[in-house]
Amino acid sequence: MKTILLILFPLIMFSQTYETQKYTLISKLDNFEIRYYPKSLKARVISQQNSNNNFMKLFRYISGNNEEKNKISMTTPVYMNNDSDGSSMDFVLPSKFDLNNIYKPRDNDVKIIESKAGYFASFKYGGYSNYSKVKKYTKKLYVILNSKNIEYIGNSSYVSYNSPYKLFNRRNEIIVEIKYTE
């Protein structure tokens, strides 16, 4: 019995039950998917390239650093971008919020945005992510899109679904908006 508890305890302790951003699956082939995302509300921080402060500013915002001093539930995924203009991180906000009822950030670096609806291609991979994995799987996604003659719009994003404390069954994605007609 002790052995079973020792095995199950970490799995229970590190499992997640966060609300996840809604989308409709259009097609799937192995780790590649095409999805339709309706618009959603996000909290965003943009900073100098490779800034580690983005997460803390967003975390403080959902922890009560807002004009109403209310906590906001954590959701998934977290979007991350890095390019020559700097780095950005977006927290998807719970679906109960809209532009009329979202808590206003007290930190001027935290911006509330509403994403536009659109079609996106995604490539999933597991484990802990790093720069070389992001680069590798971004390349794989673009190879698939080019082989299928699917045009992409803008730059890709790295998307993470797990807290750093989740050890198993981690979910990461590279995602990019595409031109898609059904």
75-76 and 78-83: which strand pairing? unpaired
Q: What pLDDT shows up at residue 8?
A: 45
Contacts of 138 (CB under 8 A, 6+ apart): 123, 156, 174
Q: How confident is the model at residue 6 (pLDDT cuts 50, 70, 90)?
A: very low
| Domain spans in the chain, listed from the N-terminal domain onward | 18-38+117-182, 39-116
Query: What CATH number is given for 39-116 in this structure?
Result: 3.20.80.10
- Phi then psi dihedrals of residue 19, to 5 deg: -65, 140
Q: Whose CA is closest to 23, among 100, 121, 108, 89?
A: 121
Give this prediction's pTM.
Answer: 0.86
Q: What pLDDT shows up at residue 49?
A: 61
Q: Is the pLDDT of residue 103 over 70?
A: yes
Instruction: CATH number for 18-38+117-182: choose from 2.40.128, 3.40.50, 3.30.200, 1.10.1060.
Output: 3.30.200
3-state secondary structure of 138: helix
- Phi then psi dihedrals of residue 87, to 5 deg: -125, 150
Q: Do domains 18-38+117-182 and 39-116 have the same CATH topology?
A: no
